[in-house]
Structure formats: structure tokens, C-alpha cells
Amino acid sequence: MTATVLRLAPSDKPTLDPMISLVANDMNLVNSVILDRMQSEIPLIPELAGHLIAGGGKRLRPMLTLASARLLDYSGARHHKLAAAVEFIHTATLLHDDVVDGSDLRRGKRTANLIWGNSASVLVGDFLFSRSFELMVEDGSLKALKILANASAVIAEGEVNQLTAVRRIETSEERYLEIIGAKTAALFAAACRIGAVVAERSEADEAALDAYGRNLGIAFQLVDDAIDYTSDAGTMGKDAGDDFREGKMTLPVILAYARGDDDARKFWKDAVEGRRDTDADLAEAIGRVRDTRAVDDTLARARHYGQRAIDAISGFPSGAARDAMIEAVEFAVARAF
């Protein structure tokens, strides 16, 4: 017997294209559910929700539900409503996040809170969240409901945890990992696990897909946080330096602070606590992050989790689904290179 070792070895330019092709037909049906179920007699609801939902998101999380189900040879239709529910939960958290962060740009567009105000964003988020549970109830699986209700509670806990860590220079890498494990990775994990639930597979298969999603989610967030110290608004579709100006304790800052001398530590403390927020300060921060290899090592951490994601699904049969899921990981970690 020959062991197959799947390595995280980015091809020239890994993309999401194989995954997009893999689930294209299912995704059309999911998109129909999304468009249909964001409707309401109150015109502001589809208007505001549509701004974000039609706004060029990759719909990565529902794609993961579809791809996971495909990996397990599921050929039914139950996962369309559940994948839409996953996307609604994600959209609701984005609407609330933008209020919490006071963001004014997302995916290269003005945020809903900037256009319609914080109140409307909060309430339409609540609506989409409720709708996601209505979709799950229609599906009728208590198991899926439990997984997504739990993920939603964990996401909210992670967001509150992040809120209480903000502007606190003493935040550790461990606490940071706890935060992103909750606020980002929990929904990735749940989205993938749902694929095994609809396919009615074993707990071990559920756990494997959960681990794939969770590790991919952590890698994804690490890269996102690294990009904030390498790039600009044009390539990111969000405001460059947002994390910096909001005093968010992301891994690049945690590493740069830990590795810095007294002068560096004073700079970071001042910055995180809100006393340095000019463009020049941002440029200095980017320089300090680069010089301490804090971005490089944030990306190295991302590759570690990416490799774990790939290993988690190495026991499933090879084929188009597994290949697409592997390339999705490579894409996630390669975005910043």
C-alpha cells in the first residue's frame, strides 16, 4: 500500500475556479433560495440585504457546504436551503460587524451602515438571521439546526471577545486564535459539517469536514489579517489600515510587538491605544511589521492551518471534489503572496 501524502504546495496561481465549477449547478439553486428568501413586504429589507448579497461576495461558505456534500457523493437537494441559511448567517454578521467596526467600505463598495444607517443594518441583520432559522426549520434536521445555532452563538461570543480585546496591547496569540476560531472558523466548520449531515454520514466524517472547515477558516482569517499590513484598499476591497486604526490586536501586531525593542513596543502601545493613527503612522507600522517578519510568519501560521485542513480530508476518495477543496485551501493561503 502506498501512502498518499497531500502537500500544501500552491500551484502557480491557485484559484477557486475548480470549486466554483464543481458546485455551479447547485449554487444556482442556492442563489435562487437566497434571492427568494431575502424578500419582504418592507422594501428597505431586500434593498439593504441585496446591496451586500449582490455585492460581489464569493459565497465561499455556502460553496463549502455544497462541495463537502459532493465529496461525500450526496446527490439530493436538501443542502440548498441549508447553504442559503449559512450565507444568511454570514451576511447578518457582516452587517452587524460593519456597525460594530464603523466600517465604510466592504468588497470595494460603501457599507450598508454608511448608506442606510446603523439602525437599519442592525435590524436587517436580525431579519436575515431569523430567516436563516426559518430555512433550517423547513429543512427539518434538528442536527443541522443544532450545529448552526451553536455556531451562531460561538460567532457572537467571538465578536464580543474581540471587542473586549480591542486596544489592548497585552492580547496574546492564544487569545487571538480563540477569537478568530470563534468569529470566523466556527461558521466555516459548521458549513462543511452540514455537508456530512445532509449526506447522513458518520460522526467521524462529520468531524473530518468540521476540521477541514475550521482550519481553512483560521488560515483564511490569518491571511486576511496579514493583508491589512501589506496591501491597499484597491486590492482588498476594504479600507487599508482599518485594523490598524481600530486598534485591533491581530497576529501581525502581536508578533511585531513581541519581537520589538522598547522603542517598537512604545510605538505599538501608542498605536493600539489610539494615539497614532495618521497615514505616516500606518506606513511606519507596515515597515515595523515587515522588518520583524511578522507578516511572513503570520502567513507561515496560515500555511500550517492550511496543511491541517488538507490532511483532515486526506482520507476521503480522491477526485474532483477533493481536488477542488484542496485548491481552495491553497487559494486561501496564497492570496497574500
The CA distance from 14 to 118, in Å, is 37
Instruction: Please state whether 252 falls in left (phi above 0), alpha (psi between -120 and 50) or beta.
Output: alpha
The residue among 171, 188, 170 whose CA lies nearest residue 179 is 171
Stretch touching a second copy by CB under 8 A, among 155-163, 224-232, 262-270, 291-299: 155-163
Q: Where are the alpha helices (DSSP H) in the chain?
A: 17-22, 24-37, 44-53, 60-71, 79-101, 112-116, 118-139, 142-165, 173-180, 186-198, 203-227, 233-236, 242-246, 251-259, 262-272, 279-291, 294-312, 320-334
Stretch touching a second copy by CB under 8 A, among 126-134, 193-201, 236-244, 286-294: 126-134
Region 6-25 residues binding a second copy, contact defined as CB under 8 A:
none
Number of residues that bind a second copy (CB under 8 A): 42
Stretch touching a second copy by CB under 8 A, among 35-43, 67-75, 230-238, 312-320: 35-43
**Residue 42 engages a second copy in binding (rule: CB under 8 A):** yes
Measured from the CB atom, the residue of 56 and 102 that comes closer to a second copy is 102
**Residue 134 engages a second copy in binding (rule: CB under 8 A):** yes
Instruction: Work out how close the CB of 146 gets to a second copy at its nearest, in angstroms, rounded to a whole number.
Output: 5
The residue among 286, 297, 268, 279 whose CA lies nearest residue 231 is 286
**Residue 268 engages a second copy in binding (rule: CB under 8 A):** no
- List residues binding a second copy (CB under 8 A): 40-45, 92-93, 96, 99-100, 118-120, 122-124, 126-127, 129-131, 133-134, 136-137, 140, 142, 145-146, 149-150, 152-153, 155-157, 159-161, 163-164
